[in-house]
Amino acid sequence: MLHESALGFGSLALSALMHEEGVANDLPSVSASLAHHAPTAKSIIFLFMSGGPGQTDTFDPKPALQQLDGQRVPDSIASTIPDIPRSGVESKLFASPFSFRQYGDSGIPVSSLYPHTGQLIDELCVVRSMNHRVPVHGPGECIALTGTGVGDRPSIGAWTSYGLGSQSKSLPGFMVFLSNVTGPPPQLPSWGAGFLPARYQGTLVDGNKGVPYTDMPAGYTGANRRQQLKFINEMNRRHQERQGPDSELEARIASYELGYRMQSAAPEVFDVASESDHTRQLYGLDDRTTTEFGTHCLLARRLVERGVRCIQLRNGGWDAHSSLRSNHIQGAAHTDKPIAGLIQDLKQRGLLETTLIVWGGEFGRTPTIEGSRTGNSRGRDHSPAGYTMWLAGGGVKGGQVIGATDELGYVPIERPLAPADMHATLLHALGIDQHRLSWNHNNRDEIPTVLGGEVIQEVFS
């Protein structure tokens, strides 16, 4: 029916938007809720630490590394390491240059890199047994955020937007911020739509300028801007009738309408001047080191307040092949205070219980030295075989640790979990059953977790 009438899903979405705007009184609206079960969260904020922070340097302390520093990996552990490139199993062990201390009622140890976040450890569920087999940044980021290393599938944010739509009428359902863009380049599939219609892809945002091109052009009013938009959409509709359904064109039509709405909504959202001095200090906006990521975290809170479904904050620069100590000090200095500020701010506003925060990178780092470097020049190679992520808010039971790696931090020895399991868990929190959300691609009903993942039930209980 859609094909014969030359109306794709983008056009239906446009019709609904126009109906809400009062432009077309005879057009139907779209269902508001598509959740499969009662959700524990309404929105997700994904704090993606690009480059791979070391698990043994952040949230998974290994006293044995301190004792065996400079020695070879014991045979008892070397024999358990998966046969993957760059495992570093033939290299010498590298004790973490950071100390750990216990925080909160739970007593979970956190590295000296994250003192502000450590103060909130009772809000965090630390998952120490994540693992996959892709030891390269680009494919690793893709598997962490799309489910496979190929880069041709929808991102978890796109699946969320497709499954639930946006709670906001004037802002995109999925937005992405980039900060400290050094080291491995950002992977477009990480916020792409893959084989889903293009309108579900993330909107890339400049944290300083906001959504590009949303300022109203000089000489335009809301009324004549609407007339211009109607004309553009009519031309696109006629073109679509000749060409047939086209995902890219449908996304363009929907984006024009959304752009019109954002010209009134976005400038206010990205103007943080109205925030109190206390709030600005909470996120570190008064400190040059934390200003960029702190601004992004503050904007994430403002976007959650306005109904944006999924926000990805990508912070780069964690790829510590050498000089791990200075590299991780810098990465944590950029992010620790803003992350803690985000959690505290959401909690005091009553938003943490409905906002799921997840932290992690594409993989961890080896417990061994990369190459023959010495002293403060020592670094670690990539280690997807075992790494750490954590979750907070959105129905998560804080103050607990799930899973464990061996005594050196190489591989999971308790509750091994894959990216698909984490994706299934995030979707579950939003009320989405991974097996009931699908898209037919090449005559196959594709689900968000590719072949299925396990919901990590302990996260919520």
The answer to the question of residue 36 being in a domain is no
Quick count: other Cβ atoms within 10 Å of Cβ 381? 20
DSSP lists the bridge partners of residue 92 as: 72
Poorest-pLDDT segment among 11-20, 203-212, 331-340? 11-20
User: What confidence category does residue 260 fall into, taking pLDDT thresholds of 50, 70 and 90?
Assistant: low
Can you tell me the mean pLDDT for 15-32? 34
pLDDT cut 90: percent of the chain above it: 70
User: Is the pLDDT score of 263 beyond 70?
Assistant: no
User: What confidence category does residue 236 fall into, taking pLDDT thresholds of 50, 70 and 90?
Assistant: confident
Are 405 and 343 found together in one domain?
yes
Confidence (pLDDT) at 36: 93
The answer to the question of residue 32 being in a domain is no
Are 46 and 14 found together in one domain?
no
The answer to the question of residue 85 being in a domain is yes
Total of domains in the chain: 2
The answer to the question of residue 136 being in a domain is yes
Are 104 and 223 found together in one domain?
no
State which of 269, 297, 315 marks the end of a domain.
269
Confidence (pLDDT) at 106: 98
User: What confidence category does residue 437 fall into, taking pLDDT thresholds of 50, 70 and 90?
Assistant: very high
Are 258 and 163 found together in one domain?
no
Q: What is the Cα–Cα distance from 454 to 127, expressed in whole angstroms?
A: 14
Chain mean pLDDT for the chain: 88
Q: Which residue has the higher pLDDT, 438 or 27?
A: 438
The answer to the question of residue 31 being in a domain is no
User: What confidence category does residue 231 fall into, taking pLDDT thresholds of 50, 70 and 90?
Assistant: confident
User: Is the pLDDT score of 11 beyond 70?
Assistant: no
Tokens standing for 323? 């000089």
The answer to the question of residue 413 being in a domain is yes
The answer to the question of residue 291 being in a domain is yes
Confidence (pLDDT) at 208: 65
Are 185 and 319 found together in one domain?
yes
User: What confidence category does residue 216 fall into, taking pLDDT thresholds of 50, 70 and 90?
Assistant: low
88-111 pLDDT, tens per residue? Answer: 999 999 999 999 999 999 999 999
Confidence (pLDDT) at 261: 65
Can you tell me the mean pLDDT for 287-313? 96
User: Is the pLDDT score of 29 beyond 60?
Assistant: no
User: What confidence category does residue 332 fall into, taking pLDDT thresholds of 50, 70 and 90?
Assistant: very high
Q: What is the Cα–Cα distance from 301 to 346, expressed in whole angstroms?
A: 7
Are 361 and 439 found together in one domain?
yes
Are 316 and 173 found together in one domain?
yes
Are 262 and 291 found together in one domain?
no
Can you tell me the mean pLDDT for 180-189? 90
pLDDT cut 70: percent of the chain above it: 87
User: Is the pLDDT score of 16 beyond 80?
Assistant: no
Are 197 and 222 found together in one domain?
no
116-156 pLDDT, tens per residue? Answer: 999 999 999 999 999 999 999 999 999 999 999 999 999 99
State which of 232, 248, 269 marks the end of a domain.
269
Is-contact 96 332, C-beta < 8 A? no
Are 319 and 263 found together in one domain?
no
User: Is the pLDDT score of 326 beyond 70?
Assistant: yes
Can you tell me the mean pLDDT for 284-291? 97
Can you tell me the mean pLDDT for 233-247? 80
Poorest-pLDDT segment among 24-28, 86-90, 162-166, 425-429? 24-28
Are 202 and 217 found together in one domain?
no
Confidence (pLDDT) at 215: 65
User: Is the pLDDT score of 324 beyond 60?
Assistant: yes
Can you tell me the mean pLDDT for 252-270? 68
Range of the structural domain that residue 351 is part of: 41-207+278-460
Q: Which residue has the higher pLDDT, 445 or 255?
A: 445
Tokens standing for 407? 């005594």
Are 327 and 232 found together in one domain?
no
Confidence (pLDDT) at 317: 96
Output the domain CATH number for residue 171: 3.40.720.10
User: What confidence category does residue 23 fall into, taking pLDDT thresholds of 50, 70 and 90?
Assistant: very low
State which of 252, 269, 286 marks the end of a domain.
269
The answer to the question of residue 439 being in a domain is yes
